[in-house]
Structure 1
Amino acid sequence: MATAFVSELVLSANQIDQLSTLEMRRLLERAVVTIRDMQGQVSDDTNGEWPDPLAYLRSMAAAVERNNPEAVSQALLDAASMIRMLRIIHDEKE
Structure 2
Amino acid sequence: MSLTTDFIAELIRAANGVEELTHYEVSRLLDRSIDTIRDMRRQTGVAGIHSARDVLIDLRLSSERARDLSAEQVRDALIDAADVLRSLKIVLDRTE
The normalised TM-score by structure 1 is 0.91
The question of whether the paired residues in 1 share the 8 Å contact of 2:43 and 2:92 is answered with: yes
Aligned-pair CA distance for 1:69: 1.1
CA–CA distance in structure 2, aligned partners of residues 93 and 77 of structure 1: 25
CA–CA distance in structure 1, aligned partners of residues 85 and 45 of structure 2: 14
What does residue 21 of structure 1 align with? 23
What does residue 38 of structure 1 align with? 40
Matched, 1:88 2:96: no
What does residue 57 of structure 2 align with? 55
Return 5+ residue gaps in structure 1 as ranges: none
Change in CA separation of 1:12 and 1:52 when aligned onto 2, cut-off 3 Å: same
Query: Residue 76 of structure 1 is aligned with which of 78, 86, 90?
Result: 78
CA–CA distance in structure 2, aligned partners of residues 15 and 25 of structure 1: 15
CA–CA distance in structure 1, aligned partners of residues 30 and 58 of structure 2: 10
Identity %: 37
Return 5+ residue gaps in structure 2 as ranges: none
